[in-house]
Amino acid sequence: MEMASISSSPRTVEEIFKDYSGRRAGILRALTYDVDEFYGICDPEKENLCLYGHPNESWEVTLPAEEVPPELPEPALGINFARDGMNRKDWLSLVAVHSDCWLLSVAFYLGARLNRNERKRLFSLINDMPPVFEVVSERKPVKDKPSAAESGSKSKGSTKRSSDGQVKSVQKPAEESYEEEEDEHGDTQCGSCGGNYNADEFWIGCDICERWYHGKCVKITPAKAESIKQYKCPSCTIKRGRP
């Protein structure tokens, strides 16, 4: 098998971020919704196994690539060996940390030819989503298995929560073009600063008045939004607090 040159297939920021988001969603699925299946596959009696997240939001536990150097950076090797020697939660958190490192290394590799501003934009998008470790270590209860679109809902930066705490994405599925989202929400303005919607930034919608805000304007991070069951903007909070 001939290795593909990193210069033979230039990638845009949007393409690399979509690849990252898909792989991240696959790994999150393995470590949360499919965790019992994942745990069972990681038999310490087997050879060195790796956890791969694929761009289509699927995951796979398998042997590492045989070619050296590999076509892409490889995940942590031998994650299965420590499975029975650690607390299950600690082991999953350790796999999550290594998976975060792998996701970033793949993004770095694919973005090797990006310029300084493009790299800054790419990692700003990545940084708007909580790392796999943060999601896995908090072990939030999950009521329903997500669709592929919901798995990547944080990847576009804009989410809205219903009263039961489930994330409702206002975006199209990740498989559809990244640019369509800009068109769909381009006329949305922040209820705090009045700025127009920008897919590169994290936004949150108020469940009371349904206005949208920059996360930074209302001091809400993507990680903090994960734990909010019903978000009330500052204006609605003040109104509700009045006698």
Kindly report the average pLDDT of the chain as a whole number.
78
pLDDT tops 70 at residue 54: yes
E strand or H helix at 169, and its extent? strand 167-169
Check pLDDT > 50 for residue 231: yes
DSSP character at residue 189 = B
Residues 6+ apart with CB under 8 A from 145: 33
Higher pLDDT, 221 or 38: 38
- The pairing of strands 158-161 and 59-62 is unpaired
Residue-level pLDDT at 241: 53
- Higher pLDDT pick, 127 / 243: 127
Indicate the pLDDT class of residue 240, thresholds 50, 70 and 90: low
Lowest mean pLDDT among 39-53, 89-103, 121-135, 142-156: 142-156
pTM for this structure? 0.56
Top-confidence range, 82-86, 142-146, 185-189: 82-86
Residues in Cβ contact with 156 at an 8 Å cutoff, skipping those fewer than 6 apart = 169, 171, 174, 178, 181, 199
> 3-state DSSP call for residue 74?
coil
Q: Please state, for a pLDDT cut of 70, what percent of the chain lies above it.
A: 73
With beta carbons less than 8 A apart as the criterion, state whether 212 and 188 touch: yes
Return the percentage of the chain with pLDDT > 90, whole number: 48
Question: What single-letter amino acid sits at 198?
Answer: N
pLDDT > 90? residue 132: yes
